[in-house]
Amino acid sequence: MTDTSTWIEHGRGGRAWVDPVGAGVYTVPPARNEPVLSYAAGSPERLRLDEAIRGLRGRRAELTPVIGGERRHTGEVLEATMPHDRRHVLADVHQAGAADVERAIAAAREAWQDWHRWPWTERAGVFLRAAALVAGPYRARLVAATMLDQSKTVPEAEADAACELADFLRFNVANMRRVLEEQPESTDEAWNRAEYRPLEGFVYAITPFNFTAIGANLPTTPALLGNTVIWKPSAAAMVGAAIVMELLEEAGLPPGVINLVYGDPAEVSEIVLASPHLAGVHFTGSTEVFRGIWNTVGQNMTRYRGFPRLVGETGGKDFVLVHPSADVEAVATALVRGAFEYQGQKCSAASRVYAPASMWPAISERLIEAIGQVRMGDVADPSTYVGAVINKAAFERHKQAIEQARTTAGATVVAGGQTNDEQGWFVTPTLIETRDPAFPLLRKELFGPVLTAFVYDDDRWDDALRLVDETSEYALTGSIFARRRESLSEAASRLRYAAGNLYLNEKPTGSVVGQQPFGGSRASGTNDKTATTFHLTRWTTTRTIKDTHVPQTAIPFPRNGTSPQSQ
Q: By CB under 6 A, is residue 269 in contact with ligand NAD?
A: yes
Distances (CA, A) of 96 to 61, 234, 262, 296: 17, 13, 6, 21
Q: Is position 189 annotated as part of the catalytic site?
A: no
User: What's the helix, strand, coil split of the chain in %, to 5?
Assistant: 40, 20, 40
- The contact pattern for ligand NAD, residues 296-315, with x = CB under 6 A and - = no contact, is -----------------xxx
Query: Binder to ligand NAD among 232, 317, 522, 538 (CB under 6 A)?
Result: 232
Q: How far is the CB of 113 from ligand NAD (least distance, A)?
A: 27
Among candidate residues 158, 313, 341, 433, the one labeled active-site is 313
Beta-carbon contacts of residue 266 (< 8 Å; ≥ 6 apart): none
- The contact pattern for ligand NAD, residues 335-374, with x = CB under 6 A and - = no contact, is ------------x---------------------------
Query: Binder to ligand NAD among 316, 429, 478, 517 (CB under 6 A)?
Result: 316
Query: Binder to ligand NAD among 96, 206, 367, 467 (CB under 6 A)?
Result: 206
Task: Pick the closer one to ligand NAD by CB: 284 or 434.
Answer: 284
- Which of 248, 314, 318, 316 lies closest to 287, judged by CA? 314
Beta-carbon contacts of residue 456 (< 8 Å; ≥ 6 apart): 354, 355, 356, 357, 463, 464, 467
Choose the binding region for ligand NAD from 170-178, 200-208, 216-224, 397-405 (rule: CB under 6 A): 200-208
Q: By CB under 6 A, is residue 527 in contact with ligand NAD?
A: no
| Contact between residue 111 and residue 254 where contact means Cβ atoms under 8 Å apart | yes
Q: By CB under 6 A, is residue 266 in contact with ligand NAD?
A: yes
Exposure of 75 in the CB half-sphere (CA atoms within 13 A): 2
Local structure of 195: helix, strand or coil: strand
Helices (H), 116-235: 120-135, 139-150, 154-157, 165-181, 212-224
Q: How far is the CB of 409 from ligand NAD (least distance, A)?
A: 29
Q: By CB under 6 A, is residue 476 in contact with ligand NAD?
A: yes
Q: By CB under 6 A, is residue 393 in contact with ligand NAD?
A: no
Q: How far is the CB of 259 from ligand NAD (least distance, A)?
A: 15
Q: Is position 163 annotated as part of the catalytic site?
A: no
Q: By CB under 6 A, is residue 219 in contact with ligand NAD?
A: no
Q: How far is the CB of 245 from ligand NAD (least distance, A)?
A: 15
Helix 328-340 and helix 360-373: axis angle, to 10°? 40
Task: Pick the closer one to ligand NAD by CB: 39 or 447.
Answer: 447
Beta-carbon contacts of residue 154 (< 8 Å; ≥ 6 apart): 39, 49, 143, 147, 379, 382
Could you say which residues in the range 435-474 bind ligand NAD, by CB under 6 A?
Answer: 445, 447
CA separation for the pair 386, 526 (Å, rounded): 31
Local structure of 29: helix, strand or coil: coil
Task: Pick the closer one to ligand NAD by CB: 316 or 416.
Answer: 316
Task: Pick the closer one to ligand NAD by CB: 210 or 487.
Answer: 210
Among candidate residues 164, 347, 433, 445, the one labeled active-site is 347
Q: By CB under 6 A, is residue 292 in contact with ligand NAD?
A: yes
Beta-carbon contacts of residue 364 (< 8 Å; ≥ 6 apart): 414, 431, 433, 453
CA separation for the pair 220, 208 (Å, rounded): 15
| Contact between residue 17 and residue 1 where contact means Cβ atoms under 8 Å apart | yes
Task: Pick the closer one to ligand NAD by CB: 268 or 359.
Answer: 268
Active site residues: 313, 347
The residues that touch ligand NAD, with contacts defined as CB under 6 A, are 206-211, 214, 232-235, 265-266, 269, 284-286, 289, 292-293, 313-316, 347, 445, 447, 476, 518, 524-525
